[in-house]
Amino acid sequence: MLLYDILNKILPPTRTFVLRLTSKTIKSVIENAKVDTIVMTKNDVMFTQDKLNSLNMWCNVTELYLKNCIFEENHNAFVNALCANTTLVKLYLNGNFLKNDIVIAIVLALCENTTLSLLDLNRNKISDTGWCLIATVLDLNSTLVELYLNGNFLRENVVHAIADGLHTNTTLTALDLGNNNMREGGAHAIAEALRTNTTLEKLNLENNLLGCN
């Protein structure tokens, strides 16, 4: 019996299940199983173009974990899938060492996507330009509620860009900026943004170089 036949027999359609996939089983499960949460971690998946194209078939998935995965240079399918997806609520991309191409793809997708509420970009070595692009999402996206940027060693200009986005953002309720070596200048910029922002409820600034002022 094929894996997806077994899954269809045992998975109730109303419950959330986490399924860990390898590259050998990804296609058959995505196309056929009643799964709304998919987890791929620990470098077991190389995201080639054909696997990115499979994203278009994840019509029931609400949570997608792509931790420590490897992305190829061509991300058009990833953008198209995120833009077209109408069910994805949580996207975890932590620990992927994302390059600017995929960051641009994410930003473009978030400008169109109307369902995603959580984006996890913890522990990624994105360039300053890439991070500033991510910060623009706070201006352009109207559904994102939680944004996690922990452990990225963000420079002060990036923190200022995030602060600028917070001035106008009206949906974000949780922002994680912990473990970023943030200094006082960045902290002051965030503090100023909070004078006008009325929706942010949770802000993590642990393990930053904030001083006593």
| The pLDDT value given to residue 67 | 80
| Cβ–Cβ < 8 Å for 199, 170 | yes
* Per-residue pLDDT reduced to its tens digit, 106-128: 888 888 788 899 999 999 888 89
What is the percent of the chain where pLDDT is above 70? 66
- What is the value of pTM for the model shown? 0.81
* Per-residue pLDDT reduced to its tens digit, 126-136: 889 889 989 98
| N- to C-terminal Cα separation, the chain | 65
Domains of the chain, start order: 3-204 (3.80.10.10)
* Per-residue pLDDT reduced to its tens digit, 175-197: 999 999 898 899 999 999 999 99
Contacts with 29 (C-beta within 8 Å, 6 or more apart), sequence order: 3, 4, 7, 19, 21, 35
| The pLDDT value given to residue 141 | 87
* Per-residue pLDDT reduced to its tens digit, 58-94: 667 788 888 877 665 556 666 677 777 788 899 998 8
